[in-house]
């Protein structure tokens, strides 16, 4: 992550977990929770939870615990989940298809407004109900549709070129699935999902005995 921030990235990466558990509690109609209970659920210590949430103002009350709805709303606001985002996907292979069609993102306010591909032939002009557009239209589309986030599901060879178009067109957040380290200006937020690396962590542990 290129940006500087006063809150450590470790704390920020814990927030979505709080958010997920708070959403589950709300679904169950639970409106009040102690930091001890929240600790049992999340696996974080009660003192860590208090510290984490104090970074953003502290939402608990001594002797009462947390109001789930308020805390959920506050964490949503911190995570920027209280607004909507326009998102494009470039790379219309299996992974791009999966991402473009995953309902969970839309429910969280991430609206896929366009899917783009370099390899758009007659068999590949639609992903389910969405038109796949040629890469040549990407830059103007981003500008016209005020796109906030660009997803990259291309091959590693094409990923940097797509990222460059995203940046040129004014996108500030990039979610990259290609197995490559993108070079980007400092003010661009980059998250890279490394699927192959996650999988090889499993194979490492399955073979750990052999390495001793």
Contact residues for its own copies, defined by CB under 8 A: 1, 3, 5-7, 12-13, 15-17, 19-20, 43, 56, 77-81, 83, 85, 94-95, 97-98, 101-102, 104-105, 108-110, 148-149, 172-175, 179, 181, 189, 191, 193-208, 210-212
Whole-number minimum distance, CB 202 to its own copies, in Å?
4
> Measured from the CB atom, is 63 or 104 closer to its own copies?
104
Residues 6+ apart with CB under 8 A from 1: 9, 189, 190
Q: How far is CA 37 from CA 176, 179, 195, in A?
A: 35, 39, 33
Do the beta carbons of residue 170 and residue 163 sit within 8 Å? no
Query: Smaller CB distance to its own copies: residue 98 or 137?
Result: 98
The residue written with tokens 């109900």 in the block is 129
Nearer to its own copies, 80 or 134 (CB): 80
Q: Quick one: how far is CA 185 from the chain centroid?
A: 19
In angstroms, give the least distance from the CB of 212 to its own copies: 8
Coil, strand or helix: which one is 111? Answer: strand
Task: Tell me which residue of 89, 64, 74 sits closest to 154, measured CA to CA.
Answer: 89
Q: Measured from the CB atom, is 135 or 151 closer to its own copies?
A: 151
């Amino acid at each position: 992550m290129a940006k500087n921030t006063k809150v450590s990235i470790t704390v920020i990466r814990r927030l979505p977990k709080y958010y997920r558990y708070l959403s589950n509690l709300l679904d169950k109609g639970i409106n009040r929770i102690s930091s001890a209970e929240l600790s049992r659920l999340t696996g974080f210590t009660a003192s860590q939870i208090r510290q984490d949430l104090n970074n953003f103002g502290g939402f608990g009350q001594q002797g009462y615990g947390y109001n789930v709805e308020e805390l959920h709303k506050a964490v949503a606001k911190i995570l920027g989940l209280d607004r909507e985002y326009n998102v494009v996907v470039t790379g219309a292979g299996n992974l791009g298809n999966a991402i473009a069609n995953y309902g969970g993102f839309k429910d969280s306010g991430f609206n896929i407004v366009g899917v783009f591909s370099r390899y758009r032939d007659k068999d590949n002009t639609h992903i389910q109900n969405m038109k796949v557009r040629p890469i040549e239209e990407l830059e103007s589309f981003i500008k016209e549709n005020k796109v906030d986030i660009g997803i990259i599901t291309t091959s590693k060879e094409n990923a940097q070129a797509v990222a460059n178009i995203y940046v040129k067109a004014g996108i500030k957040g990039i979610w990259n699935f290609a197995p490559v380290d993108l070079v980007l200006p400092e003010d661009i937020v980059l998250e890279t999902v490394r699927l192959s690396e996650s999988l090889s962590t499993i194979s490492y542990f399955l073979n750990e005995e052999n390495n001793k």
